[in-house]
Structure 1
Amino acid sequence: MSSSDIFIGETIGTAILILLGGGVCAAVTLKASKARNAGWVAIALGWGFAVMVGAYISAPLSGAHLNPAVTLALAIKDGNWGDVPVYFAGQILGALIGATLVWLAYYGQFHAHLTDREIVGDPGVRDTPAKSVEAQEKGAGPVLGIFSTGPEIRNTWQNLVTEIIGTFVLILAILTQGLNQDGDGLGALGVLITSFVVVGIGLSLGGPTGYAINPARDLGPRIVHALLPLPNKGGSDWSYAWIPVAGPLIGAAIAAGVYNVAFA
């Protein structure tokens, strides 16, 4: 695979991943969405399908990493670090594009949601923050969850460990079940297996933090949330943002180490 193929494949695949994954969060969350309040099962299934579609599209070009944690684990497994920056760059750019496309697809719903006084408070009253009490407590605006993750209980070490554990499961499953014949990305069957694993992680381990399990999936959309001209959008919760980056990378490194000791 050439560097240009890797970059293009990761950019397109990650953009599709975030478009569909963020899209299901928007569908379930936003006022005037036909899927509003569809629930956690819909979100978990939506992210699983998002992984499947993005991975199948990008696999011929880049091996469908779509996740810096996957790229890191494969580099540790094989000792090949040369393409890591290219993968990372494509993944972050793709995440930025995907999150922007979610905003465009749900433009009217974002406006309706963020101008609803019951949701964001009364922006017309001076000194009344335009976000809910819950959002104030978490340092996050009322639609940040569409773009990035956040904990239900803010406990730094628990939140970090939850992300480590979830990513460990994902990466170990990919390394043992999902790689193509060259071992540098997902194979056709591996894409399907990985998609089901993502659904399983969401249903079983997603409750505490929203299961980022992918640094690009969280960081790229969080940046977009901070930059978009959304009315009354509130904060982007940057004090939490390091956890869904560091946790998945640590979990990936541990999983790669376990694989090299137990399976290689």
Structure 2
Amino acid sequence: MESTAHQDEQSESLDTTGFVIAPLAAAAALDSAAFSKVNAAEAIPATWEERARKAWEYYVEEPLVKNCVNSWRTFAVGDEIKITSDDENLKEQALEAAWRLNISQFIKDMVLQLLVKGDAIGFKRFTQSGQDIEELVCVNPVSVKVKYAQGELIEARQFPEDTPGGGDSIPLPVEQVVHLKWDAPAFSPRGNSLVLPAFQAIELLRDYRRAEQAIAKRWATPFRLLKVGGAFGQKMVMPDQRMLEQVRDMVNKMDMKSGLVVPFYVNVE
């Protein structure tokens, strides 16, 4: 695109040159309807009844959603962790330690913090002798500031919850701290909605799947035109209506995932 601007005949001409950039959404152009409902206004139901129905639909159809719900039910709702061992003495000691440390409650709280806030921080307190664990504590991740160096935790400090990031802090020994982080939005004291991003992500995933199917249908067809008949060496084949119908039926019934054996007088253009 080129345009020339003239102020008057005596003034100096000003030339500007621009380039038109072709649209990059070629995949979406194959099926424009695939991305028609990406916006949140149409993707997310308005009432809680419709959201409940859609949540059940996602639970049934989407394995990712089903796995998350099952994990939540196992750890957060109340199903206990089962401990098994071939050694009965070891199993008895493990069950006693799990009951004394309340392992099920600890893991439930950790999973809850991980799902809701995106972070989970656990702290193990040893006995005075230092030979045994006295207590497992799920610490509020909002009150803890952590530092990493080359992927390793080097510092953890806990601040008062009423003044996060300020006031007197308590250093937590890193060898007694476990920090788990999920790829989730940063926690907000006002609360994060896990429903809206989930619905948006799943709807967008389904739209991408529709676009992929449209692209596959566009490019999966192995041919466009068939040539029936013609000169083959010293022989001339003149197709009649019956021959054309036979070739058409063969193509319509063929398996698109495998090859098709055709007579010598059929050629692909």
In the superposition, the TM-score normalised over structure 2's length comes to: 0.19
Q: Which has the higher strand share?
A: 2
Q: Which has the higher helix share?
A: 1
**Which of the pair has more CA radius of gyration?**
2
In the superposition, the TM-score normalised over structure 1's length comes to: 0.19
Larger RCO (CA within 8 A; separation ≥ 6): 1
